[in-house]
Amino acid sequence: MFHGWRNAGDDKIEGEKPALLVENLRQTFDSFNMKAIVLRGGQAFDLLDGSRLPDGFLESYATTVFQVDNPWQDWDAELKKQGLQRGSQVQVRYYMYDFIHNAIYSRTKQAINWAKRQGLLSVDRRADELEVRGHAYLIKQQGGGRFGVFVPQQILTVSGKPIEVPSAVFAEQQDVAQLQQAGIL
């Protein structure tokens, strides 16, 4: 299953991308091998252990990052451990490797293309005019190890019209098929 998910990230995703919301990323980011970073005073720090990251460290990650809207709500205890006062201006971001970025956006592209084929979106609708919302699922492997997969569940247009994306859209992909068989999707 992991290889199926990783293979989804083999194709480089370029061009316009939709806005993306992963509903439970705070709880699952580490299963995607993402790094939680706090930016303060122009410096990057590891959010979990507080260590300052050397210049150039983040260059091995994808240029697309997920930014946390409410860092103090999601990361209060960790930010306080770093000596920050509640309300201080900080940014928290999740950095990911290219294959994770590509796998997530490959799924979003697949959801958008499905909606266009179904006539739910016009064929000329640009991806950057949409928001794709989805859920991250944690898969534990027999014998140890775990990884996360992203499954889009909804597309929002600029007008806010929601389009529900059934998991059957991704059923030919092994990780989603396993989640369906387990009754999770």
Q: What is the pLDDT along the chain (185 residues), one digit of tens a residue?
A: 666 666 666 667 777 888 888 888 888 888 888 999 999 888 899 999 989 999 889 988 888 899 998 899 999 999 999 888 887 888 999 999 888 888 889 899 999 999 999 999 999 999 989 999 999 988 776 776 778 889 999 999 888 789 999 988 988 887 787 778 877 87
- Are residues 88 and 82 in contact, defined by beta-carbon separation less than 8 angstroms? no
H helix count then E strand count, the chain: 5, 8
Q: Can you give the pLDDT at residue 148?
A: 83
CB 128 within 8 A of CB 17: yes
CA distances in angstroms from 4 to 7, 81, 103, 119, listed in the order given:
5, 38, 10, 29
Give the pLDDT score at 160.
Answer: 78
Cα-trace Rg, the chain? 18
**Can you give the pLDDT at residue 9?**
61
Residue whose C-alpha is closest to residue 157's, from 127, 123, 118, 124: 127
Q: What is the model's pLDDT at position 42? A: 81
pTM over 0.85: no
